[in-house]
Every structure is written in C-alpha cells, then in structure tokens.
C-alpha cells in the first residue's frame, strides 16, 4: 500500500452524456482528496477482502491501518510499518527483522507526499471509459466506474456525502487480463481523529537512536538489521 489515497484512487473519470451523473463527480473526487490530505489529524482502519472467483465464500482477509498527525504519517500492513516525517522515512519489517532508514530533506519529503498522499486528477479523468452515479442513500454516495480495457474493469466507489471520506471501494478484475482474482473489497472503518494515546505510533525513538551516520537500532529492536540508505557501503 503506497498510501491511503493511492490505495483508494486507482479510479478514473471521463464524463459521457449518455450516463446519469451525480452532483459533480470531479468535485467529489477533489473533496475526497482534500479530506485526506487536508486533515491535520486522521485515522482509519482498513479491511481488505480478496475473492478468487464469484463463488468464493472464504475470501482472504487482510487488515491495515493509517494514521496522520500533522506532517507525520504512520501505516501498518501485516508485519510492515512505515513512518514518514519531514526528516526521515522509516520502514520496519517485523518478519524479516529489518529496518530501513532514510534521512530526508524538505524536497524529499514533498516528493514522498506527492507520491504517497496525492494523485493527478486530470490523469485519472483521462484513463477510464465512464462513471455512473448510482445515487445517495444513508449519507453515502455510490459511483460505478468502468474501464473495459483495464486490469480492473469495474470499480464501485462509496463516499461519505458529508465529509468526502471513502467508506468502501470494490475492484472487479478483468478475467481476460487477470485470472487470479475476481474482486477485492476494501472497507475503511473507524475513521476520525487520532487519540492522544496513538501519538506514540509516530515516534522513531522506539526503533532507532541517533542521526546521520550514527543511526542505530534501539534496545527494543537490537536483534534487527539496520539499513541506512544514506550511507550504504
């Protein structure tokens, strides 16, 4: 998962007059982008269900979580954690007992922000065949997005009509191009502001000490192999 928004929006919009559209699909996409990138504090738990075929009654289930506090970000997917701040990018691989550290500057930080937490709306708009607005019910807008030639040929998008947040996205895979999956259902739950107790998730000191060439693993992670990408041999 490169990011919350990247995960959410592999979606594209091209408006065709033959379809019935919502109030403004492009504005809804922009509102979603503003919600996630503009929030000073944000959390979401994520559940991913992977169905191999239409009759699959026991999908593979994965969970993840994303947290944001100011300009600090934290994500966790399986045994992999990521911390991003204006000074560093930290990846922790629990299973492999490995930590990758990179000290960054403002230019690097902005590049990561653009890569992880933003998307090019105009590029998205030009990629898909069409989008169909299905209506609003229980404070939730539903869109159907189609791309006959893509690996994902249909996407169901469910947006909170009050906040602009994503509630759920369902990807249907093109069986001719991607035979391994039938669909993937991604649900975003427990969305809101982070609690004070969760602010310790953003602390690098739990994993490393020092800076520059002197970065070392903390005592809690003494058995982990540290890779300092700024000073590789």
Give the pLDDT of residue 207: 96
Entry pTM: 0.76
Give the pLDDT of residue 36: 74
Average pLDDT, the chain: 81
* Structural element, H or E, at residue 68: strand 60-69
Quick: pLDDT tens for 40-87.
898 999 999 999 888 888 999 999 999 999 989 999 988 999 999 999
Indicate which CATH number applies to the domain containing 192.
2.50.20.10
Q: What domain range includes position 118?
A: 4-231
Quick: pLDDT tens for 84-109.
999 999 999 999 999 999 999 999 88
Q: Is the pLDDT of residue 114 over 80?
A: no
Domain count, the chain: 1
Among the residue ranges 4-13, 25-34, 105-114, the one predicted with the least confidence is: 4-13
Residue predicted with more confidence, 9 or 43 = 43
Within 13 Å and on the Cβ side, how many CA atoms surround 164?
17
Give the pLDDT of residue 223: 97
| Residues paired with residue 225 on neighbouring β-strands, in sequence order | 98
Give the pLDDT of residue 1: 38
Residue predicted with more confidence, 1 or 147 = 147
Instruction: Band the pLDDT of 21: cuts 50, 70, 90.
Output: very low
Quick: pLDDT tens for 168-226.
999 998 887 776 678 999 999 998 899 999 999 999 999 999 988 899 999 999 999 99
What's the CA gap between 116 and 136, in Å, rounded? 29
CB 123 within 8 A of CB 9: no
**73: which residues sit within 8 A by CB, 6+ positions away?**
66, 67, 82, 83, 84, 85, 116, 117, 202
CB 174 within 8 A of CB 152: yes
CB 85 within 8 A of CB 202: yes
Q: What percent of the chain has pLDDT over 90?
A: 38
Give the pLDDT of residue 215: 94
- Average pLDDT for 109-113: 82
CB 116 within 8 A of CB 6: yes
Quick: pLDDT tens for 153-170.
888 989 888 888 889 999
Give the pLDDT of residue 37: 73
What's the CA gap between 188 and 160, in Å, rounded? 11
């Amino acid at each position: 998962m490169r990011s919350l928004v990247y995960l959410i929006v592999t979606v594209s919009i091209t408006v065709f007059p033959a379809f019935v559209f919502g109030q403004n699909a492009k504005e809804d996409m922009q509102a979603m982008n503003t919600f996630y990138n503009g929030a000073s504090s944000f959390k979401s738990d994520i559940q991913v269900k992977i169905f191999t075929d239409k009759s699959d009654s026991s999908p593979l289930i994965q969970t993840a979580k994303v947290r944001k506090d100011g300009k600090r970000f934290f994500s966790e997917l399986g045994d992999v954690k990521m911390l991003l701040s204006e000074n560093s990018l930290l990846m922790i691989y629990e299973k492999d007992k490995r930590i990758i550290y990179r000290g960054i500057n403002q230019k690097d930080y902005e590049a990561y922000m653009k890569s992880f937490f933003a998307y090019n709306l105009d590029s998205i708009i030009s990629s898909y065949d069409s989008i169909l607005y299905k209506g609003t019910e229980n404070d939730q807008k539903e869109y159907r997005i189609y791309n006959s030639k893509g690996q994902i040929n249909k996407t169901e998008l469910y947006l909170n009509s009050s906040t602009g947040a994503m509630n759920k996205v369902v990807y249907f895979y093109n069986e001719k191009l991607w035979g391994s999956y039938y669909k993937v259902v991604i649900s975003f739950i427990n969305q809101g502001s982070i609690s004070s107790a969760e602010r310790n998730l953003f602390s690098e000191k739990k994993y490393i000490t020092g800076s520059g060439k002197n970065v070392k693993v903390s005592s809690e992670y003494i058995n982990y192999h540290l890779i300092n990408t700024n000073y590789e041999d």
